[in-house]
């Protein structure tokens, strides 16, 4: 007997057709060649979720400049999503431009977005998916704590630098307490490479070498 598990880091995002405020879409195919963030919220017409949608919309242009799309999700009917988006526009003067999935619970279950100890609604889940449809990051926040959207932007930027330069990113990059905005060189795997890297790069030791990010 097999037990279904939620998708993990490195897995392909599961293919699924969804109904959204922008019509039907097939994920991850709809975002082929792009990064995307799928994020769940507990419910429409709730105060913390409203602040989150406004925060995402305020940064939407910056996400798009990073070739990253956004798509929301909750276990609400599409009519509720539409009415909530209208309310945000009418009362807060913010037009939500990204689609929102109307889930009946199947997708939330597939992605592990309902945590029984936190109630029957979706928690504040985040799936970050790369242009090949591979899951790169998974985060869960409880209903009572809103997300930090600048951190989600930072994660996308960090992934893109790491992927393009073959490096790793330090804590709080680009404002790390030890090496500032520099990036970490992958550790050597043999003695000769260790000696070379220690002589070639700034370092604290052969296993902790770092450098500036080269301009494109």
CATH code for the domain in which residue 175 is found: 3.30.1020.10
Residues 108 and 189 in one domain: no
The whole-number pLDDT of residue 215 equals: 56
How many whole angstroms separate alpha carbon 77 and alpha carbon 61? 27
Give the domain CATH number at 102: 3.40.30.10
Is 49 tagged catalytic? Answer: yes
Q: Residue 144: CB partners within 8 Å, gap ≥ 6?
A: 48
What would the pLDDT profile of 67-100 be if each residue is shown by its tens digit? 999 999 998 899 999 999 999 999 999 999 999 9
How many whole angstroms separate alpha carbon 47 and alpha carbon 188? 49
Q: Average pLDDT, stretch 102-117?
A: 85
The whole-number pLDDT of residue 106 equals: 87
Please, what is the Cα angle at 138 between 99 and 10, to 5 degrees?
Answer: 105
| pLDDT above 90: residue 114 | no
The whole-number pLDDT of residue 3 equals: 43
Q: Average pLDDT, stretch 135-149?
A: 92
| Alpha carbon 16 to its chain's center | 18
Closest among 69, 17, 65, 66 to 38, alpha carbons compared: 69
In a domain, 110, yes or no: yes
The whole-number pLDDT of residue 119 equals: 63
The whole-number pLDDT of residue 2 equals: 37
Residues 112 and 187 in one domain: no
Q: Which domain holds residue 200?
A: 166-211
Containing 37, the helix (H) or strand (E) segment is strand 35-40
Task: Identify the active-site residue in 49, 73, 75, 185.
Answer: 49
What would the pLDDT profile of 176-206 be if each residue is shown by its tens digit? 999 999 999 998 889 998 888 888 899 999 9
Higher pLDDT among residues 100 and 121, named by residue: 100
- Rounded to whole angstroms, what are the CA distances from 160 to 12, 79, 211? 18, 36, 16
In a domain, 10, yes or no: no
């Amino acid at each position: 007997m097999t037990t279904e598990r939620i998708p993990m880091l490195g897995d392909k995002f599961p293919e699924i057709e969804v109904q959204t405020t922008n019509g039907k879409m097939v994920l991850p195919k709809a975002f082929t060649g792009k990064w995307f963030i799928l994020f769940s919220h507990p419910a429409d017409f709730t105060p913390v979720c409203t602040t989150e949608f406004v925060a995402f919309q305020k940064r939407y242009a910056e996400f798009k400049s990073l070739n990253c799309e956004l798509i929301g999700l909750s276990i609400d009917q599409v009519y509720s999503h539409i009415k909530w988006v209208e309310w945000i526009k009418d009362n807060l003067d913010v037009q939500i431009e990204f689609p929102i999935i109307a889930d009946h619970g199947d997708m939330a279950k597939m992605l592990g977005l309902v945590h029984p100890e936190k109630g029957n609604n979706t928690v504040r889940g985040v799936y970050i998916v790369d242009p090949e449809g591979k899951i790169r990051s998974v985060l869960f926040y409880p209903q009572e704590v809103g997300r930090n959207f600048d951190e989600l932007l930072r994660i996308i930027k960090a992934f893109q630098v790491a992927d393009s330069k073959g490096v790793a990113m330090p804590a709080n990059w680009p404002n790390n307490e030890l090496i500032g905005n520099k990036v970490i060189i992958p550790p050597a795997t043999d003695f000769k490479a260790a000696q070379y890297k220690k002589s070639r790069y700034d370092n604290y030791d052969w296993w902790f070498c770092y450098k500036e990010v080269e301009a494109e």
